[in-house]
Copies of this chain bind each other. A is one copy, B any other.
């Protein structure tokens, strides 16, 4: 029997190639929880009395995040946790995810607030896809912008001080590379593990999973017996992101740890850019009053475009 290289007692079940460790189930899941605690304190993500809205879609990462934050926040009696779920309106996919999210919230005794695209914007994602079929834009381009806003609406409804999203290390490096491929490297200013604007109208966003690998997130859910939505989003196949994801996975396979190296490179570039962030003026959108870097926010631009079709 190969023993766990941390506790040296229990049987190893997972070889973490980037560190050379062999881990048992318990030491593996503790290592993930430990990573999240370290990330939270390294970036000063939470205060002891925060009301934290966890963005829970029903996928593995967000359900894991809910469970881990629930565990961590038990040590902070003045902090409260709630879950916010966005129903984009994707028939045959979203219903199950929402049901799973609800079951997890109920099991942990966490309040859940659900908002929908239909309520907020007047269209479901399915309707948007239908209307924009000829535009050559991927559904993700619309969904990303609208989901961001919907999360803000839900967080406000919940009276939250912070929104915690379950972006993994994989998401972060993919997004960075995608920004490059879209010719928009300045976007990294507004990304990163902790985005806290001076503008009080933005609910600050934090990413406690930003140093967790996606494959280890899947493994954590299995080890812990956590139920999550396993089917991928039916629209996900359209995106350039898939090419980037499979490239990075192949590289990680051949050069374990390379995703972490890439992540550190991006962090250093973000720091070099930081001074430019202060120069970006945020003002209220002329249409809806929400904060934006331009005249009219992206949400209002999308909606007015949809209303015309």
Contact = CB atoms under 8 A, between A and B. Distances in A.
Interface of A: 179-186, 240, 243, 247, 250-251, 254-255, 258, 261-262, 264-266, 268-269, 272-273, 276
B181 A268 contact: no
A10 to B, nearest CB: 32
A265 B268 CA distance: 16
A183 B243 contact: no
A181 B261 contact: yes
B276 A181 contact: no
Q: Is the interface of A mostly helix, strand, loop or mixed?
A: helix
Contacts of A181: 251, 255, 258, 261-262, 265
A260 to B, nearest CB: 9
B261 A240 contact: no
A269 B268 CA distance: 11
A186 B269 CA distance: 8
Contact of A269 (B240, B251, B261, B269): B269
Closest 9 CB pairs of A and B: A183-B261, A180-B265, A185-B265, A247-B247, A185-B268, A272-B273, A185-B269, A183-B264, A183-B265
A240 to B, nearest CB: 7
A139 to B, nearest CB: 17
